């Protein structure tokens, strides 16, 4: 059977509502807008992420479930990087008419499995253009979250002389992508957003600044330092490189969705939070440039 | 000069920030998420709208400014239909690499002019795929608004025996589109979202149910009646047909973005709110079917 917008919307509605507590959603799919009820005294976090077939994913490189997972992941990771709690997700889809229904089902399954795991409801969205002669899948995902007023952990809060940490291990996404480019096995990479770690750091006021690593450690460290007006010195031998990856991928590969944060020298940062390793990789500096201290003793400028 | 994502983001940032009061936006473009500060005791309204070149707009039929206007319009109209106030808008754009910069500038101008008129700030978004071999423009717009807790005007609040009203005049968008299809003059149609009317009706508790007319009067009346569990009788000679349009376009054409609402028999609904005409077109009924009372005395079933 061919895809139609009506059938697709019905399918999303049916799958979205299943078995989810939705106390934060006063009105879901089916009115002019969704109505969200954030906890009293909270501010609202909003993030949007566009994923385009060919650019952000390839249908021949990974199962549809994995694509669905990876389309929602960046939004949840952004909420984690603010120390926030997700309230609801919104999915806008543009689909070629020739797309197999099976792919769409798999995509939704992967996306909704991740949503359920983090207790996020799909509260709306838009399905378009099934018949408009489009030849690529496009998904735009909005995640709305909340955080107690004034408590969001921004990129701009770091001071010089603070310690720099990352969660988990880095470089696996880039290493896997590299295997795909070389014509190797298809990818099935489903990292989890670090929501529990972000929430822990916010509740205990441990982090002064935070960002998620979506563009790669070196680039996202640059973003954090620029917004905070500091520089950084990180040590090559302290960077947690994922098994099967390389230092280069850990430094410059993207899509890891780990958290990068700073904490004052005296802050008691655990080595593990919610089952995720926390590793100090360096310190912030007054000098606004960023450096990598290599194992061979040389110092390399990070741009 | 070719389009690049970086240049485009810089351009959006520059144009978005210009001369706008942004008290509801604690953190705008440039962190992991935007941080919005809704008024205390308010719920959050969220709506997303996908616009695809070829499906929702054509570059040869209207100026880029008009396309930009019409991409933001549905989201603001949805907020109006809940009786809400818009807080911020988010724009996700996917653009073909061959697209002239001039078109993008015009698009942004039209979008931001409408945003400014209604005091809405562009608080973020995502720009993608300038180089990914896409051959159509795609825009996904999210509008976030707020409304006092429990006061959103839903589609589901109408009871039988209430009066049915519409704002403004209907059918102009469909009539203009018809001229385009016939190869006539290009369209330059910039209707305004009825935010002031929606707010007025909410503040005075005049409307029991409301929807905006995006799919056409007959279809959106059907949506409101279905959600409320009522039927309707509307009178042909009371429908405000826009000058230059026809009854058929007024009944079944879409994209008017006027409001359709119900009010109790005794409610004092003005004939004009914020400069916009308010016209009673019929009543709700216990019988769940919907009927059009024609001038010739015949009664026509509306589906």
> What confidence tens digit (pLDDT) does each residue in B35-52 have?
999 999 999 999 998 888
Residues A56-66 have a mean pLDDT of: 84
Band (pLDDT 50/70/90 cuts) for residue A133 is: low
Q: pLDDT above 90 covers what percent of chain A?
A: 66
Q: pLDDT above 70 covers what percent of chain A?
A: 88
- CB A290 within 8 Å of CB A230: no
Burial class (CB in 10 A: 0-12, 13-18, 19+), A290: buried
A140 with B79: Cβ contact below 8 A: no
pLDDT of residue A19: 43
> What confidence tens digit (pLDDT) does each residue in A163-202 have?
999 999 999 888 887 777 777 766 667 899 999 999 999 9
DSSP state of B57: B
Q: Which of B81, B129, B147 sits opposite A52 (nearest CB)?
A: B129
Q: Of A83, A227, A80, whose CA–CA distance to A157 is shortest?
A: A227
Give the A:B interface size as CB pairs under 8 Å: 189
Q: What does the mean pLDDT of chain A come to? A: 89
- Give the dihedral of Cα atoms B106, B109, B113, B115; nearest 10 deg: 110
State yes or no: pLDDT of A235 exceeds 80: yes
Which one is predicted more confidently, B185 or B76?
A: B76
Residues of A in contact with B37 (CB under 8 A): 43-44, 149
Window 95-124 of A, Cβ < 8 Å to B: 123-124
State yes or no: pLDDT of B190 exceeds 80: yes
Nearby residues of B94 by Cβ (< 8 Å), 6 or more positions away: A50, A52, A138, B127, B128, B129, B132, B134, B137, B138, B139
ipTM over 0.90: no
pLDDT of residue A6: 65
pLDDT of residue A248: 94
Q: What does the mean pLDDT of chain B come to? A: 89
**Cα–Cα distance measured from residue A79 to residue B206, given in angstroms and rounded to the nearest whole number:** 38
Q: Does B129 touch chain A (CB under 8 A)?
A: yes
- CB B264 within 8 Å of CB B208: yes
pLDDT of residue B21: 46
State yes or no: pLDDT of B156 exceeds 90: yes
Residues of B in contact with A32 (CB under 8 A): 47, 78-79, 81-82, 155, 210-212
Residues B252-280 have a mean pLDDT of: 96
A48 with B142: Cβ contact below 8 A: yes
Residues A232-245 have a mean pLDDT of: 96
> What confidence tens digit (pLDDT) does each residue in B162-188 have?
999 999 999 988 888 777 777 776 666
Band (pLDDT 50/70/90 cuts) for residue B22 is: low
Instruction: Indicate the pTM of the whole model.
Output: 0.91
> What confidence tens digit (pLDDT) does each residue in A191-218 have?
999 999 999 999 999 999 999 999 999 9
Q: pLDDT above 70 covers what percent of chain B?
A: 88
Band (pLDDT 50/70/90 cuts) for residue A99 is: confident
| β-strands B290-293, B231-235 pairing | parallel
Window 142-201 of A, Cβ < 8 Å to B: 142, 144-145, 147, 149, 152, 154-156
Angle between helices A101-117 and A64-81 (to 10 degrees): 30
Helix (H) or strand (E) holding A121: strand A121-128
pLDDT of residue B123: 87
Angle at B37 between CA B31 and CA B41, to 5 degrees: 150
pLDDT of residue B56: 74
pLDDT of residue B73: 96
pLDDT of residue B296: 95
């Amino acid at each position: 059977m061919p895809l139609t917008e009506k059938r697709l919307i019905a399918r999303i509605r049916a799958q979205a509502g299943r078995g989810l507590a939705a106390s934060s959603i006063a009105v879901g799919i089916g009115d002019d807008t969704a109505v969200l009820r954030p906890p009293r005294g909270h501010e609202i976090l909003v993030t949007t992420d566009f994923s385009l077939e060919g650019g952000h994913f390839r249908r021949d490189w990974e199962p549809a479930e994995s694509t669905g997972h990876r389309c929602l992941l960046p939004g949840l990771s952004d909420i984690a990087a603010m120390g926030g709690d997700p309230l609801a997700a919104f999915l806008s889809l543009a689909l070629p008419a020739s797309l197999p229904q099976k792919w769409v089902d798999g995509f939704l399954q992967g996306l909704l499995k991740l949503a359920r795991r983090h207790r996020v409801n799909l509260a709306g969205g838009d399905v378009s253009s099934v018949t408009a002669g489009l030849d690529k899948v496009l998904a735009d995902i909005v995640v709305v979250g909340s955080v107690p007023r004034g408590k969001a952990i921004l990129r701009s809060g770091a001071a010089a002389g603070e310690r720099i940490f990352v969660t988990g291990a880095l470089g696996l996404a880039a290493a896997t992508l590299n295997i795909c480019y070389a014509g190797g096995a298809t990818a099935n990479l489903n990292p989890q957003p670090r929501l529990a770690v972000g929430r822990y750091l916010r509740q205990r006021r441990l982090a002064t600044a935070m960002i998620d690593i979506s563009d790669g450690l070196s680039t996202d460290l640059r973003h954090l330092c620029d917004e905070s007006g500091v520089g950084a010195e990180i040590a090559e031998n302290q960077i947690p490189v994922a098994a099967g990856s390389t230092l280069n991928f850990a430094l410059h590969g993207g899509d890891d969705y780990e958290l990068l944060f700073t904490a004052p020298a005296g802050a008691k940062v655990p080595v593990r939070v919610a089952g995720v390793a926390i590793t100090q990789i360096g310190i912030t500096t007054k000098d606004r440039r960023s450096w990598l201290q290599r194992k061979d003793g040389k110092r390399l400028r990070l741009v």
